[in-house]
A and B are shown apart, each in its own frame.
Chain A
Amino acid sequence: MAKEAADVNKMPKKNPLSLQIDLQKFEKATDEEKKQADVMSESTSFFRDGMRKLRKNPLAMFSIVVLIAIILMITLVPVIVPYSYSDIITVNGKRDKSATNMAPFTYSKLEQQYIDEGGKVFPHIMGTDELGRDYFVRVAYGTRISLLVGVFASAIVLVIGVLYGSISGYFGGKVDLIMMRFVDVIYSLPDLLMIILLSVVLNEVLKFDGNGILARLGTNMISLFIVFGLLYWVGMARLVRGQILTIKQNEYVLAAKVSGAKSSRIIRRHILPNCISVIIISAALQIPSAIFTESFLSFISLGVKAPMPSLGSLASAARSGITTYTYKLVFPALMIGLITLAFNLLGDGLRDAFDPKLRR
């Protein structure tokens, strides 16, 4: 056999009337021509393909750069700038009571005196606030708190929503019916009003001692988290349930079931990975919404506990004396806008890249 196959050029004797192709009339492909037929591009996975699309989306890449810049800023600024978010500026060991409401890059009398004497004062990049605290550090800290609240709240929503939605969608039938009625009721509760109510109540009921992060954030933020955990997960749960209802119909799920896999394994290994992109996109879009909620609450005096700043409380505090010190509103407002814009654009980009079904 091998001998015959190697000798391609030799044509077997054929009937003159036969329609069989005469191989002699064909030219052999050169090595160069053979190479052209090779598949040049690597085979891609779903994830890689999505990343490639994401990298081609300038808006999404821009928002990633912005987010990285913001994260760098909130980690580095408190280290580099020698002021703290809660303390009045001290010059040469003395409290500088005149350093209130200064414009960006200006120095108070005491500081000017100290500089003239040869001392070094770190410039107030965003000026100072009404109590004489460095505003740049406060904005950086506020951004940190707002981002933290956003990420944490969306993590709560993610965990509860995915658990609830996947159980409801996977088991279907009566379980689904009852669980979804419950979701319907929660969904129709006015969430912001409930947050306000709980914040008011928890403020009186809960008292935190010590110096933990929760105690410093204050009871308002805890009630924000509680309400997010109680109410906001329903959107995510509905989304996950809908996804699972469709994925459940696929043959590979049936195959897994037939071969005796447990429900938890089927959910974890076969169903969740298939709707993970939708879940992540929705979680990314949850972050700006949580930051919005937090700033809204701060504005109506139900936000983080003083002296801890958040972007919302900074913007709210800036309203007194807004006509003369407009920059105090501009900086936190800019940060809120930048963060929400970046997350929204990134979420849209992720959706375009990873979710062909939702693509418009």
Chain B
Amino acid sequence: MGKYIFKRVLLAIVTIFIVCFITFFTMNAIPGGPFAGEKAKSPEVQAALEKRFNLDKPVGEQFVIYMKNLLHGDFGISAKTGREISETIGSKFSVSAKLGIMAVLLAVFLGVVFGSIAALQRNRWPDRVIIFLSTLFTSLPSFVLGSFLLVIFSVKLGWVRAWSPTNQNLVLPVIALAMYPAAYITRLTKTSMLDVMGQDYVRTARAKGVAQWKVLFVHTLRNALIPVVTYLGPMIAGVLTGSLVVEQIFTIGGLGAEFVQSITNRDYPMIMGVTIFLAVFMVTMNLLTDIVYKLIDPRINLD
């Protein structure tokens, strides 16, 4: 187990390093540097700026400096606003994280409940309806669903007020983000439930007269949820990237909206910082998922 965790952590560190490497050197390949877009500066100002941001040093050395700063939590400053990027990330990410956590919880809840119902009612109408709906929702990108939700419930019906700093109503964006993973988890839970329900230990439990609910919750569902755990990592990544557009639609001032804004503004230090931050977050989540997965299922061999 220790060996497995060590290997997995090593892979995560290598991945994060590669992400930083790619991010830094691709951004450096852009001609002109981060200050080219601003209005013309005198050579002295230009030189001072370059000295301030170490742009006068060779690229390799710049990379080392950048990495060192990253380890200290210093992402540099935004080329557009001049503010500390780490500060922006810190303040905006809490909004996105709230949205993301709610979406993940809703998705897991809906997926497990409806997946179990579909498995228990196999080939009867609840199963067919649930599978039809889940197929439908896996075919709609979150931004399309989000736009429709906004138009129908917020504009046409006026049931839910749009998000603003004073009215932080996250119902619609959470639904828009959660439906795709919820549909996916539904299908995952259904197949894995059917699989577990055919296992010998479930039959044994039934045969020796264990109560129906106990068979369902203790013997079946607990084992059926193991494959769902593996999906948590990809789901968190999906929800995070999905929040890029969903925040834009519902005009929520989170990190996703900030990121999209920095892309439109061509704010390169900001793009770099947020990319690396999100990447580190996703890789860490994947790492945790993998370790949890191995911890809860002793049957999996560790190689």
Contact = CB atoms under 8 A, between A and B. Distances in A.
Interface string A174-207: 0000000000110011101110111011001100
B139 interface: yes
Interface in A86-120: none
A322 B26 CA distance: 36
B144 A337 contact: yes
Contacts of A336: 139-141, 144
A329 interface: yes
Contacts of A302: 263
B18 A204 contact: no
B282 interface: yes
B75 interface: no
A62 to B, nearest CB: 12
B62 interface: no
B244 interface: yes
Nearest to B191: A360
Given A190-B283, A196-B263, A197-B275, A300 B194 contact: no
Interface string A141-156: 0000000000000000
Interface string B203-241: 000000000000000000000000000000000010001
A333 B141 CA distance: 9
Q: Classify chain B: how many residues form its interface, as a range.
A: 35 or more
B18 A185 contact: yes
B26 A198 contact: yes
Interface string A252-268: 00000000000000000
B144 A200 contact: no
B30 A190 contact: no
A340 interface: yes
Main secondary structure of the interface of B (DSSP, over half): helix
Instruction: Give the interface centre of A188, A189, A337, A340 by most chain B CB atoms within 10 Å.
Output: A188
Interface string B266-296: 1010010001001100110010000000000
B101 interface: no
Given A205-B30, A323-B155, A296 B283 contact: no
A246 interface: no
Given A300-B244, A326-B151, 8 more contacts: A185-B14, A196-B263, A200-B271, A288-B139, A296-B141, A300-B260, A315-B144, A323-B151
14 contacts: A184-B11, A188-B15, A189-B18, A190-B237, A196-B263, A197-B26, A197-B27, A197-B275, A201-B29, A296-B245, A301-B263, A315-B143, A315-B144, A337-B139
For the complex of A and B, the 5 pairs showing the least CB-CB separation, nearest first, are: A340-B139, A341-B139, A333-B144, A188-B15, A201-B26
